[in-house]
Structure 1
Amino acid sequence: MFRRMKEDMDTVFHQDPAARTYIEVFLTYSGLHAIWSHRVAHFFYKRRFYFIARVISQINRFFTGIEIHPGATIGRRFFIDHGMGVVIGETCEIGNDVTIYQGVTLGGTGKEKGKRHPTIKDYALIATGAKVLGSITVGEASKVGAGSVVLKDVPDHSTVVGIPGRVRVQNGKRIGPSDLDHHKLPDPMADRLNELKLQIERMQGELNMLKEKEERKKDANPNL
């Protein structure tokens, strides 16, 4: 148990340059506390002590702002950065060395039974505010951009951005117009507004041409 706790704290040092000392990480990192609490809740959940497991998960949610269902399966060296608003569903499966940021939802899409939450493979990264919904798989070493909504499987070594999420980079090759920088994600609203602006400019140009033709006709024939 203590080796696993030490490994979790080492993961924080590896992922977060703001971490300074073990005592600081031990006492102040809510993502770490949420993971440790989940392990206790998951222990009881696997032994069918569902009520106790849910109570522990709700206490964890109250103190950390991170909601992890006790049924979720989480691998080693899982890192939650900041973490406020993170939601992880019951049938979610998370591999090793996965990183997620605040506001991430790994949820379902309705009232379906069985496996209804995502599977996140090893080394994946889910950026701030992303929503990964349904029984889908985010592939190994893949990245989901900030604010994206992912409803379909993501291949290994890929980058997904947008609403709905689309693969933009795969195996190091760009296959779409966007790159993987969080500050350069596509803005569908801005794109649509730009399209409308271009249409208005074209219509204004055509209207000006018609006005010029009418004026030329009047100049050529003042009796009109």
Structure 2
Amino acid sequence: MKIQAALIHWSRGENLGLYWKFFWWRKLCSVRIVRDMLTFFLNRMAHRHGGYIGNGAKFDSKPILPHGLHGIYISRYAHVGADCWIYQNVTIGSVDRKAPQIGDHCLIGAGAVVIGDITIGDFVKIGAGAVVCTDVPSHSTVVSQPSKIIVRRTGA
């Protein structure tokens, strides 16, 4: 019974350990054919889970994806800070090869869209379904469409 439970858990796409190992290996690899093979496997794994993380996307640490890669799109030009929580169906998109720069310890709620050449500060919370296309200062909470800042604390 433990094997069946492990297979069910793995098939949900929540266990992305192998995906992130391939992702970091590709980043460190200097041999083009190996890098291309890793890119192929990464794209297949992400497609299986219904998500996409661009080839050039930068992460300061492994993001926390409570629902796996389900519906997540991260542009190849995006930069995501350390310890960010990204829920399902989030889009971090680019415009004219410029994508958001997301700070550390951010939370991006389900269905949110963060797009364009913008900067998201540290400790920012973006609510579910929000469309963010302007800069957001640190320690803020963003909700609604168009996005509006409802809480702004001074840095602690």
Name the residue aligned to 1:93.
Answer: 79
Which among 73, 78, 99 is matched to residue 117 of structure 1? Answer: 99
* Alpha-carbon distance in structure 2 between the residues aligned to 1:130 and 1:157: 18
CA-CA distance at 1:43 after TM superposition: 3.1
Name the residue aligned to 1:195.
Answer: none
Query: What is the TM-score when the length of structure 1 is the normalising length?
Result: 0.57
Which among 42, 57, 62 is matched to residue 57 of structure 1? Answer: 42
Query: What is the TM-score when the length of structure 2 is the normalising length?
Result: 0.79
Q: Say if 2:146 is the partner of 1:164.
A: yes
Q: How many residues align structurally?
A: 142
Higher share of residues assigned strand: 2
CA-CA distance at 1:32 after TM superposition: 4.3
* Alpha-carbon distance in structure 2 between the residues aligned to 1:80 and 1:31: 9
Deviation track 1:34-89 (CA, whole Å, cap 9, x = no partner) reads: 43332233334xx4736435313311212322211121111225201113100111
Higher share of residues assigned helix: 1
Which among 112, 131, 137 is matched to residue 149 of structure 1? Answer: 131
SS for the counterpart of 2:48 is: helix
SS for the counterpart of 1:132 is: strand
Amino acid at match of 2:113: K
Q: Say if 2:91 is the partner of 1:105.
A: yes
- Checking the alignment, whether the CA contact within 8 Å between 2:143 and 2:149 is kept in structure 1 is yes
* Alpha-carbon distance in structure 2 between the residues aligned to 1:81 and 1:55: 24
Name the residue aligned to 2:63.
Answer: 78
SS for the counterpart of 1:154 is: coil
SS for the counterpart of 1:168 is: strand
Deviation track 1:155-214 (CA, whole Å, cap 9, x = no partner) reads: 000001111211111117xxxxxxxxxxxxxxxxxxxxxxxxxxxxxxxxxxxxxxxxxx
Q: Which runs of 5+ in 2 are unaligned?
A: none
Of all paired residues, the percent bearing the same amino acid is 30
Larger radius of gyration: 1
Deviation track 1:106-147 (CA, whole Å, cap 9, x = no partner) reads: 1113xx24xx11111110110000000012111100010000
* Alpha-carbon distance in structure 1 between the residues aligned to 2:18 and 2:51: 10
Which protein, 1 or 2, shows the higher relative CO under an 8 Å CA cutoff with sep ≥ 6? 2
SS for the counterpart of 1:79 is: coil
